[in-house]
C-alpha cells in the first residue's frame, strides 16, 4: 500500500523576505501564545498566516483552529501584545474565518493527541 503524501500549507509571511531577523524575533515571541484547549502555540499550529508591513503598522492575518473558539478574544489580544513587544510599530490583527487543518502546522511538527 502506498503512503499518502500530505500536502503542506505553511504560512508565508510577506515581510519575512525583507526583514528576516525581525520575523525570527516575532516567531519566537508568538511561541509564547498557546491555544489553551490544545496546549500548542500559534506558530506550531500555523495560525499566523501572514504578516505584512503596511505604512505605519504591521497587519497580522490570523485564523483559529475552530471558528467558534471560546478563547479567540484572549488569543488575539495575546498575539497583538506579543507582536508589539518585538516590533517597533503598532499591530493590527486581521482575524479570518478560514478553515484550519493539520497541513498548516509548522514543518516537522505533528499533533499528538493520543487518538491514534
Q: How far apart are CA 32 and CA 29, in angstroms?
A: 6
Contact 15, 70 (CB under 8 A): no
- Residue 2 confidence (pLDDT): 42
Domain boundaries, the chain: 14-104
- Cα distance from N-terminal residue to C-terminal residue, the chain: 19
Which residues touch 16 (CB under 8 Å, ≥6 apart)?
Answer: 23, 51
DSSP-assigned letters across all residues of 75-95 = HHHHHHHHHHHHSSSEEEEEE
What global pTM score does this model have? 0.88
E strand or H helix at 25: helix 20-30
Q: What is the CATH number of domain 14-104?
A: 3.30.300.130
- Residue 81 confidence (pLDDT): 98
Bridge partners (DSSP) of residue 57 are: 54, 90
- Residue 110 confidence (pLDDT): 64
User: 31-59 burial string, b = 16+ CB within 10 Å, else e?
Assistant: eebbbeeeebbbbbbbbbbbbeeeeeebb
Contact 90, 56 (CB under 8 A): yes
Low-confidence ranges of the chain (pLDDT < 50): 1-4, 115-116
- Residue 84 confidence (pLDDT): 97
Amino acid at each position: 500500500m502506498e503512503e499518502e503524501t500530505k500536502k503542506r500549507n505553511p504560512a508565508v509571511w510577506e515581510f519575512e523576505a525583507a526583514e528576516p531577523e525581525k520575523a525570527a524575533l516575532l516567531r519566537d515571541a508568538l511561541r509564547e501564545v498557546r491555544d489553551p484547549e490544545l496546549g500548542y502555540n500559534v506558530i506550531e499550529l500555523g495560525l499566523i498566516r501572514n504578516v505584512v508591513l503596511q505604512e505605519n503598522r504591521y497587519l497580522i492575518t490570523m485564523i483559529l483552529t475552530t471558528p467558534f473558539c471560546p478563547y479567540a478574544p484572549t488569543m488575539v489580544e495575546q498575539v497583538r501584545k506579543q507582536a508589539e513587544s518585538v516590533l517597533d510599530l503598532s499591530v493590527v490583527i486581521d482575524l479570518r474565518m478560514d478553515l484550519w487543518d493539520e497541513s498548516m502546522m509548522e514543518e516537522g511538527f505533528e499533533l499528538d493527541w493520543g487518538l491514534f
